[in-house]
Amino acid sequence: MVLWEFIVICGIIFILLELFIPSMFFLNFAFAAFVTAIASLFTAKLLPLVLVFFFFSFLSFAFLRPLLLKRKGKDIETGVNDKYIGKKAKVIEEVSANNGTISIYDERWNARTEEGSIIPVGAEVEIIKNDSLIMYVRQI
């Protein structure tokens, strides 16, 4: 097997790893491996090829990864804002400033009120913001 073929196979393995473990981590190594494969057509010495691989790995981590993590000019969000904020939910355990539970989309969420009011069981609420696993609501 020729050296460049081996390096291309390594790049393909990195792409497959990225497909199964989507983290934008292995894609950087795949990019560096393909550049190194091109460089291996010009030299078969190991040290320059290792340096090319490390250089382009670093370069892609520094510049390519941040570009790929952006979508249409903004960072990728978890989707909580689009799916829950502004939507109506039902109170299943009394909600106050310290505790409570709501139900939305057949999911249970811990809920709190910002203004400190108490919302009774069965009331309809609107989700106004999210803080980790806690939804902040107000009564409708």
What is the chain's mean pLDDT, rounded?
87
Cβ-in-10-Å burial (0-12, 13-18, 19+) of 135 comes to: buried
- Structural domains in the chain, sorted by start: 3-75 (no CATH), 80-139 (2.40.50.140)
pLDDT in tens, 51-76: 999 999 999 988 877 777 775 444 44
Look at residue 116 in the predicted model and tell me its pLDDT: 81
Report yes or no: 134 and 110 within 8 Å, Cβ to Cβ: yes
pLDDT in tens, 75-121: 445 556 668 888 999 999 999 989 999 999 888 999 999 888 899 99
Q: Tokens 């806690």 map to which residue?
A: 134
Model confidence at 140, pLDDT cuts 50, 70, 90, reads confident
Between the CA of residue 108 and those of 17, 55, 90, what are the distances in Å?
A: 34, 48, 10
